[in-house]
Structure 1
Amino acid sequence: MILGGMGIPAADQTIARLLHLLATEAPGEAFDQLAEIVEASAPGPERDEMLIAIARSGRIRDLLAHRKRREKETHALIETARDLASLRDVDEVLDAIVHRARQLLGTDATYLALLDPVRGDVYMRITLGTVTRAIESIRQPVGRGIGGRIIATGEPFATSDYVNDTRLNRYPSVTDAVVEDGIVSIAGVPLRIGDAVIGALFVANRYERSYDRSEIELLSSLADHASIVIENARLFAHAEVAAGRLRETNAELSRQGEGLERASIAHEQLIPLVLRRADLGELVEAVAVMLDGTVAAVGVDGSVLVTGGRGTLPDTLPAPARGAVAAARVTGTSRTWTVPVQAGEERFGHLVLVATTQLLDPDVRTLERAAQTAALLMLMDRQVSAAEQQVRGELIDDLLAEREPDWTAFERRARRAGAVDLRTAHTVLVLSATGVPRRHLLRAAADLASRHGGLATEHAAQVVLLLPHIDPGEAARTVPATLGRSAGGVVTAGVAGSARSAQEVRRMHREAERCLRLLLALGREGEGAGLAEVGVLGLVLESTSQKQVRALLAQTVAPLQRYDEEHNTLLLETIDAYFAAGGNPRATAKALQVHPNTIYQRLERIDHVLGHRGWREPDGALSMQLGLQLQRILEQIPVEELLPAAGG
């Protein structure tokens, strides 16, 4: 039916048209066109009813469109929840949320920013749809810009014109990045965990656009999902860390339990070693088996006493720092552990363990207990040795006494006491040490004597050491350094030998003592030497007498010494410096810091006092230099002690 003859559809046609538009989800323009056609018809109740029907159909269309949009949004939220349930990578889920926000709201770009808990500012975590790099690296303070405002207030915010919005406190670098990317309108909502705002989710367009309430609500729902993802990630990370720590703790407890069991077994093995007074080698071998490594017992002087185990030791064995309980050093695949062997303040050396695996605390305690056991065994050995040394020492003390012993009675006592066999070649050393008490030197000498089958004793406030089967020259070279490391001081040794009888030991002792005093008088502390190694002076003293020494001094040094004392001059000092300068007067003057003419005058005065110039010639110079050295020595050692009276 055509209304009014003007081509206007009849009521049933209009209704059919409306139903078709609704069924095909026609756009709003189609409803508007139909309304215009109806309005052009003649007024009347039928026309008004058609207009009301068209208006109601438009509302139905809007409701259907809104419901469809909500269904689409709900489906997106369900998909997002499914992503959460799948527990995929956090960044992947957040990327999906940002992608869906852009898709659902039809925006040019989407961002997700987070609060940095360390720096306290807001940084961009994820961006989608950006065209420049600058916006991807945005950071801004809380309270500045849209992100800072949302995090500071915890409220959503939207603007259709970011650059000109007077509500915003913009941050210059962020504004530059937004303008460079062409962004105009932005909307954002907070990300919350409980009451705390941890970030914001944004959508943006490169044209002016207003965001309605439903869009903000949808963005908020997606932001809530993002917050859940972030919080779950944090909780899962904490749970994983806690689980990892728990696994490590369980594994450590298991290892500790095994270590404690090994330590208990080790303790049961160490006690019998002490009770039957096993030797150090047996202990070291047992420890090597217990700890599955290679073990060395090292003396105080750094020498390796015994080793155990099937592995190899490093060329240099480390020593623990004084006061350290145990220390480890890693070299390649090996770990080297050192622990001191000591009883109280007295140190016997240290144990070194080389292993390919890390020691557990119970294993370290086992190594320390082994070191204590070693100290106990060595202390017992020392006490036995000290008792033997004391018995022998008393015998040697009688041998070295000023009064010569009854040799028949002495040899009978020596056989009865089981002392050292003095018929074996022995090198005699008389020792002194600076920087440590004499008892420390005696203890170190006794340990060395025990290792070599010799004897150490104290006689006349000096330490005397008898070593069998060692060359005197080798003893002079090695013993001071060895005892110095053991005693912790500077050791000087006068050496004589070899002696093959008690009488020779007595005579060699006198020679070694004299040599020691010469070394000290010549300032050669820390050395070892026999008379032959002292130099020309030693050779002279070996074949001279008190009378000859006094005669040499009377011809050389004594006249100059008397003249210096009577006239307050420095002739002795000058001649000494002259020889030190190689007979060069100008070098002598430089050494004494005087004018060369003064030296020439003093040299002429020396000629006058001595009554000749022969002291400048080779033979005379040798006698004069020898006299000067003898004079320095006699200032510390009287001639009666330096040379035997029989020589006088």
Structure 2
Amino acid sequence: MDEASTQQFRAPEDPEILNATTESSRDLASVRDRTLILKGILRRTRTLLGADMAYLSLNDLPSGETYIHVTDNVRTEAYRNIRMPLGTGVLGAVAAGGSTASTLDYLADPNMNHIPTIDQVVAVEGVKAIAGAPLRVGGRIVGALLVAHRSPASLPAAGERALEHMAAQAAIALEQTRRGSEIMQLRALIGSTTTSNAGRTRELEAMLALDERLMGSMVASVNAEGVVAVLEEATGRPLGLFDPTGRHRFGSVTLNKPSLENWGVQSAINTSLHGAGAATVRYKGEVYTVVAVAAGKEHLATLVMNGTAGKEIALLERGSVFVSAALLFERTLVDANNRAQSTLMEDLLASRTEDQAQAVRAKFVAFGIELRGETAVLVILIDPPVRHNALATVQQRLRKGAMLVSAHMGHICVVTTSAGATLAKEMDQILHQEGISAVIGHATSSSGSINGIRGAHDEASEVVMAAKELGWRRGFADLNDLGIAGIMLSHDSASTAARIVERTVGPVQEYDRAHRTDLLGTLWAYLESGSSLQTTASQLHIHQNTVRQRLERIDSLLGAQWRTPSRRIDVHFALRLWKLVPPTSKPDAVRGQ
């Protein structure tokens, strides 16, 4: 298809997504009519994505189908009454598979599982492009939220994010409105229950109170920590929220990170993640209940509760959809706050003319940064699943000062007039306290010129990539810390370093392993001291004769020619690599030690 003739669903800005989710939360708290709530969500979704129509389906598991439940701007009765077998078309695929999906032109898409009668309905409606996101309640996929165009259109990343946000809101609405009649029945039951059924009465009242409190928390402040606190109090059991890497975020520390990596616990999380709702697992004699919190195909977090009981599991599943919406809201809030700073950083890196440089300088002033003297740049590599959490942590906990913090090009970047090394150390400690492993490269421009800062960014990026190739999982460094050896490896791999070390000083390594000695350490200290016996002995706290004896042993292993100037350079270089690569027994080595 000609790309020039293909449009896109609209790519909404983060503030627009936040406004839409906030308005939907207000409806959920104040509007009791099921159709009005869902239609409001569909209307906002259409507006966000600039779509011709929107609709929501519910899954009918006994029949193996999903059916359209509510629509907005659908013209034909036949389309409004579509029932799709799960797994067919975009609607059936999203409602069954649990992932966001889209098609540029549904009828012309050979990858779709078509049904002739449904295709005819789609053709009469005039639908071309379709995009959908699953609705999850308590880990279970209960339906799908879809938008459609009557002309071919692709789904941009911002559009996909908006669709998943609104799907989370729709899931809350479904969970609330689906229980509308149930809640009325419960209230009636509570009113007629005798004292002999006091236990059942308290259970029903707790369920109603949780629903109302969660709705109130979503309106007052969309905050995942507050939602988890409400859930933990409601269940009366220790309950914690953990990110996909196992890092504890809120609530009780019900399991530590190594425990969450246990295969049995991981299996339970995956079971919940793939639509089975809450799952239980026994670990070290204790029973835990886990609920995977997801949006589309993305695993956002995991709720872990001590123990298992029917009423607590029901409360946990009810609350998980609120946690999902709150986490998405928090992420978009971070993205919105980051957008201007990321754009400015990209402008700095792209600026080439003096006019562009002056414009960038003026924008930096708005962040309190005068680009006229020493300016440091830090580049921070963090695993994608926790990058948003890390960005929020850095922005919230760094000491106050003139700095710009942004996420771009797959890493977090900081531009500051503070000392780069000091800030890198502080940042490393802050992130480590939060359970986040980060590799940080830093460099400084002495002039503060745009070209100088751009060069510092490139240098810090090379340093951090070199450290990553050398096997670092946590630490901070600049060019001097890594030296030529490290920067050379930024374009190669740690396996190259291992081969160089093995070929150059391998016999000494083997001797140390066999005899539990540290001849390599002695050799390193000797070369670093400028071949001074006295300095080496002082540094190692041994006698000079001991140093001399160790060097003679190294002569026997490497041959006396290692002392010649050219060979000595090779040995020193190999030892530099040996010092940079963290030993396998210390995967979290800091600064390569």
Same fold (TM over 0.5): no
Pair member with larger Rg:
1
Category of TM-score, reference length = shorter chain: 0.3 to 0.5
Q: TM-score, normalised by structure 1?
A: 0.37
Could you tell me the TM-score, scaled by structure 2's length?
0.40
Q: Which has the higher contact order (CA 8 A, sep 6+)?
A: 2
